Structure 1
Amino acid sequence: QGKAYVEDGRQWTASDIGLTHRTCAWMSNGFMSVNTDAGAGRAFLRSLYRQYADWGVDFVKLDCIFGTDYSPKEIMAVSETLKELERPVILSISPGTEVTPALAENITQHVDMYRITGDDWDSWKDVRPHFDVARSFADANKITGLRGRSWPDLDMLPFGRLTDAGVNQGPHRSTNLTFDEQLTQMVLWSMAKSPLMYGGDLRHLNDDTFDLITHPTLLKINHHTKNNMEFGYIHSERTSERNEHSGRSDLTNNGGTVLGLATCNDKNTGGWHSSSKDHICRGFGIQNDNASFCMSKAKLLPTSDGVTMSGVEDQAKFHLVGIDTNDGCLDASVSPMFSTCEQHSKQVPEEHTLVT
Structure 2
Amino acid sequence: MLIHNADCKEIYYPSSYEEVVNLIRKANEQKLTVHPFGLGTNHIGKQLFADVCISMSKLNKIIEISKSDLYVVAQAGVSVDMLEEAIKSEGLFLPFTYSGTLGGLASTNKPSIFSLLYPYPKDFILGAKIVTGNGEIIRSGSKTTKFSSGYKIWKVLSGALGSLGIYLELIFRLIPKPEMIAYAEVEDPFRYISLRPWGILSTVNSAKITNYLIFGGFANFIKKVSEEYSINFSEGLPKIDLECEKILGIITARGEEIEVLRLFQKGIAYVGAGYVRVCDPNALKLRDKGYTVIIEKGCQDDEKCFGFSYSTFKLIKSALDPNNIFIAGLD
With the length of structure 2 as denominator, give the TM-score of the two structures.
0.30
Higher relative contact order (CA 8 A, sep 6+): 2
Give 1 or 2: higher strand fraction: 2
TM-score (norm 1): 0.28
